[in-house]
Amino acid sequence: MKNQLNFRFIFLVLISAFFVSTGVQHLNAQTKKNKVRLKADYVKIIDGEMYLNIAASSKINKKNVKVSGIELTIFNVINDEKRALGNVTTNLKGETKFFLKSINAITPDSTNTYNLTVLFNGNDTFKKAKKSISFKNAEIKAKHIIKDSINYITATLIDKSTKEPIINESLDIQVQRLFNPLKVGDEFNYTDENGFIIIPVENGIPGINGELIIEVVLNDNDIYGTVKAIVNAPIGSPIVNEDTYEQRTLWAPRNKTPLFILIFANLLIIGMWGTIIYLITNLFKINKTKNSTL
């Protein structure tokens, strides 16, 4: 009887230990939630789209890890009031883009500053996080001109709310390329008192059909974010298509076999197999000339 009691006691202790340890583990798991770092940049393309470039990362075991698949909500903050604009989810690289329909879709505060907040509500693995971003609405008016047979790109940078020129800010002039843009002009091209710059573009830059896509960029500005104007200028040297895809080459598909191979190989095949057929017919002839008196 005493042994039986002992057995029950031990059984109860073991069961309790199991549940307690599971609970502790669960609590531990909850306490080990990681912080999420949010990064948000405002990008505006003149006469094009405007969006927030958002990236989420976390430091796990002293390593920066991209946080994928988390849902973020974007709010427009006007004074103390918050208005939800929409949701986005980060991709495998922990990145996402939130497109703004137009600048009129958001409301600025009394200082003509647009305030947006990116909010992550947290989940089982990550803590709640938030990132605020403020910017003013700037505009770049860029065009291509020719002066004394030299090609120039001119640009005027203005604050769209006040219509005032933005002075002493550096604009990048660059030609769109396949991987990274090709910078033109000096390293820094500061706007004058009229918010204006003029940059010569050298001849001979290759472009498809001689067309260059030139970007004038206010890059990652503290007040205005990134603003980009695109100018199409037919001032490049046309790229000559050296693609041999349509030609009859040794490396072309089989329907583009070089003619000399087609002719030579087929002549050989016909020559060889023609002779073989002739030889086989000779066998038949031998078979038939059993009683020949020739």
Partner 1 sequence: MKIHDKIIDDLVPKKFNKKDVIWVISLVVIILVGLIAYIDQLIKGQEVTNMRDYALWGIYISNFVFFVATSFVGTVTVAVLRLTNNSWRTPLVRIAEIISVAAIIMAGITIMIDMARPDRLLNLFIHARLQSPITWDVIIIPTYIVISLLLLYFPLLPDFAILKNRFEKKSPKLSKIYGKLSLNWTGNKAQKLLQKRSIRIIAIMIIPVGLLLQTIDAWLFSTTYRIGWDSTNFAPYFISGAFVAGLGALVTLIYIVRKTKKLENYITDYHFDKLGKFLALACLTYLYFNINEYLIPLFTAKKGESIHLETLFTGSYSVIFWLVTVVGLILPIIVLLFKKGRKPLPMFYIGLIVVIGSWWKRFVIVTPTLLHPFLPIQGVPESWHHYFPSMHEWLITFATLAMALLIITLCIRFLPVIPIQRTIDELKQQNIDKDKNIKS
- Which residues would be at the binding site for partner 1 (CB under 8 A)? 250-254, 257-258, 261-262, 265, 268-269, 272-273, 275-276, 278-280, 282-283, 285-294
Q: Do residues 212 and 233 touch, judged by C-beta distance below 8 A? A: yes
Name which of 128 and 285 has its Cβ closer to partner 1: 285
Rg (CA), the chain: 36
Shortest distance, position 94 Cβ to partner 1, whole Å: 25
Shortest distance, position 280 Cβ to partner 1, whole Å: 8
Shortest distance, position 287 Cβ to partner 1, whole Å: 4
* Cα(223)–Cα(159) distance, integer angstroms: 10
| Closest among 174, 243, 170, 172 to 205, alpha carbons compared | 174
Name which of 112 and 281 has its Cβ closer to partner 1: 281
Structure tokens at 257: 């076999």
Shortest distance, position 292 Cβ to partner 1, whole Å: 4
Name which of 179 and 260 has its Cβ closer to partner 1: 260
β-pairing verdict for 37-45 and 225-233: parallel
Name which of 208 and 276 has its Cβ closer to partner 1: 276
User: Which residues does 170 contact at the CB level (< 8 Å), separation at least 6?
Assistant: 188, 189, 190, 191, 219
